[in-house]
Amino acid sequence: MKVLVVGGGGREHALVWKVLRSPQVDEVIAAPGNAGIGEVARCAEVKAEDIEGLLRLAQDEKVDLTIVGPEAPLALGIVDRFQGAGLRIFGPTEEAAKIESSKVFAKELMAKYGIPTAEFQVFDNPQKAREYIRKMGAPIVVKADGLAAGKGSIVCGTLEEAYRAVERIMEEREFGDAGDLVVVEECLVGEEASILAITDGEAIKPLLPSQDHKPVYDGDKGPNTGGMGAYAPAPVVTGEVAEVVMKRVLRPAIEGMAKEGILYRGVLYAGLMITEEGPRVLEFNCRFGDPESQAVLPLLEGDLVEILEAAVEGRLREVEVRNSDGAAVCVVLASGGYPGKYEKGKVIEGLEEVETMSDVVVFHAGTARRDGEIVTDGGRVLGVTAVAPDIPKAIERAYEAVGKVRFEGMHYRRDIGQKALRHLGER
């Protein structure tokens, strides 16, 4: 069969890598892809937001299954468009994708169906938002309603920071129309974790719990990014916590959507804060996580395509989702200046050396091929993933591989997975 993967980041490279391991698959096309994906699959110069262009590509190539990586095409209705044309595609519809594309929709769904989350208020007026912030005090969290590439949720330690966040989102329009509304919510205390679950609208099959590292600097310091690394499994999500997440978060969300007349098929990603009172939802996303996928997919045993086909066809309960007993750690290598302004076109060295390492995969994110060389082409450039029997060995192996890669301005966090070690030490 022929599979189309929509997107061009590290998550999409991980999806392509996993899909190519399916015995059913003869060819993978990625749109637009990147330099690393281009070494193992065919890249088509169609942007992920070009829904009509992607539809023509899928029809012309007689694609059997399309897998959507990023949230933007899902929010634009790519699934509705493909389904209307009789094509099989994995991902939620535009209406279902509102669980990520609208923070207000998600928070109101959680409130209605009793899903544990932070106390919140929604505002369309910046002055009223500031008045509420003054009344509630800091720390507090200010979120743009719409999609903001993972950067629209601002944790504010002081009132001044919170006022400034409202100003950036609603008045300076830093995130465009995503800032028409803001959600202001209490700042939860605990440890973050992510659970990605594949669902056909009835059956729900969680993948291994993982932990992302959003702030740019070690010790969770600095501004938020799209994610500076991840590891799986996350020991903060014990078996007991996982049961609570299924019972109180995932199932009520899918069943709540159904009660609203929305069939949710695709990945439901629950971003959680594990508090002393139990797990509470920070956010829902409507797609595979990035960089969580780069840690979770290498640990997924069996045929991903078989699982996704079953979800598309509404028979997910027939398929077993199995994970290996090992651990995986992904360290993101970023361009100088990221998550602010950064330069592109820096030559990347050392990749050939890393390719000789066993149990290590380099997933390309912001890369391009120019004049026979692989160069930087984005903020997050590479995700170096190592698989090992346990987290300490995976950390060691990942950083050994990172040490072989070089490009001008390269920076990365040196503490990916350290929170896991604290838990493992407690046991």
Q: Helix (H, G, I), strand (E, B), or coil: what is residue 7?
A: strand
Q: Considering the chain, what is the average pLDDT of its residues?
A: 96
Contact 283, 222 (CB under 8 A): no
Burial (CB count within 10 angstroms: exposed 0-12, middle 13-18, buried 19+), residue 239: exposed
List of residues 6+ apart from 290 with CB closer than 8 A: 9, 10, 11, 69, 226, 227, 365
Contact 381, 410 (CB under 8 A): yes
Q: Which amino acid is located at 383 in the chain?
A: G
The DSSP bridge partners found for residue 374 are 369
Tokens 């803001």 belong to which residue? 182
Tens digits of residue pLDDT in 12-58: 999 999 999 999 999 999 999 999 999 999 999 999 999 999 999 99
Tens digits of residue pLDDT in 327-356: 999 999 999 999 999 999 999 999 999 999
Here the tokens at position 309 are 């086909």
CA distances from 222 to 190, 216, 217, 345 (A): 18, 6, 6, 25
Cα–Cα–Cα angle for 353, 358, 363, rounded to 5 degrees = 70
Distance CA 170, CA 254 (A): 31
Closest by CA position to 332, among listed 233, 421, 416, 419: 416
Q: What percent of the chain has pLDDT over 70?
A: 100
pLDDT at 210 over 90: yes
Q: How confident is the model at residue 426 (pLDDT cuts 50, 70, 90)?
A: low
Tokens 């799986």 belong to which residue? 232
The DSSP bridge partners found for residue 154 are 142
Q: Which amino acid is located at 255 in the chain?
A: E
pLDDT at 425 over 90: no
Q: What is the pTM of this model?
A: 0.95
Q: How confident is the model at residue 152 (pLDDT cuts 50, 70, 90)?
A: confident
**Which of 145-154, 184-193, 357-366 has the lowest average pLDDT?**
145-154
| Mean pLDDT calculated for residue range 399-406 | 98
Directed axis angle between helix 391-402 and helix 418-426, to 10°?
Answer: 160
Tens digits of residue pLDDT in 91-147: 999 999 999 999 999 999 999 999 999 999 999 999 999 999 999 999 999 999 999
Write out the DSSP string of 135-174. HH-SSEEEEESS--TT--EEEESSHHHHHHHHIIIIIS-T
| Mean pLDDT calculated for residue range 405-416 | 98
At residue 314, the pLDDT reads 98
Instruction: Reply yes or no: is the peptide bond before residue 32 cis, omega within 30 of 0.
Output: yes
Distance CA 61, CA 43 (A): 12
Residue 360 phi, psi dihedral angles, 5° rounding: -130, 135
Closest by CA position to 46, among listed 36, 37, 55: 55
| Mean pLDDT calculated for residue range 200-217 | 97
